[in-house]
């Protein structure tokens, strides 16, 4: 598992801005697809989804703007 993760990290370091753009586009479109196919299921746990979103957003903002 460590070898595989090391390989993935090495590959991700070689990504360009365009590669990250496509990566994010894939993740967003996959999320939209899941949401459209499983709308009834996701509506039943919408509070949990909002909590996960807010906590992860705060975490990424802290990591982005923290002083070096």
What confidence tens digit (pLDDT) does each residue in 16-63 have?
999 989 999 999 999 999 999 999 998 999 999 999 999 999 998 888
What stretch of H or E contains 3? helix 2-13
Per-residue pLDDT band for 1 (boundaries 50, 70, 90) equals confident
The runs of H, that is alpha helices, within 1-68 are: 2-13, 17-37, 39-44, 46-65
The answer, yes or no, to whether residue 11 has pLDDT greater than 90, is no
Residue 38 has a pLDDT of 93
Q: Which residues of 20-39 are buried (b: 16+ CB within 10 A; e: fewer)?
A: eeeeeeeeeeeeeeeeeeee
Count other Cβ atoms within 10 Å, centred on residue 68: 2
| Token pair in block for residue 55 | 């906590």
């Amino acid at each position: 598992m460590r070898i595989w993760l090391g390989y993935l990290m090495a590959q991700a370091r070689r990504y360009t801005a365009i590669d990250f753009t496509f990566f994010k586009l894939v993740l967003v479109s996959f999320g939209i697809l899941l949401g459209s196919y499983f709308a009834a299921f996701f509506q039943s746990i919408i509070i949990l989804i909002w909590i996960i979103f807010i906590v992860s957003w705060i975490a990424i903002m802290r990591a982005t703007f923290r002083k070096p």
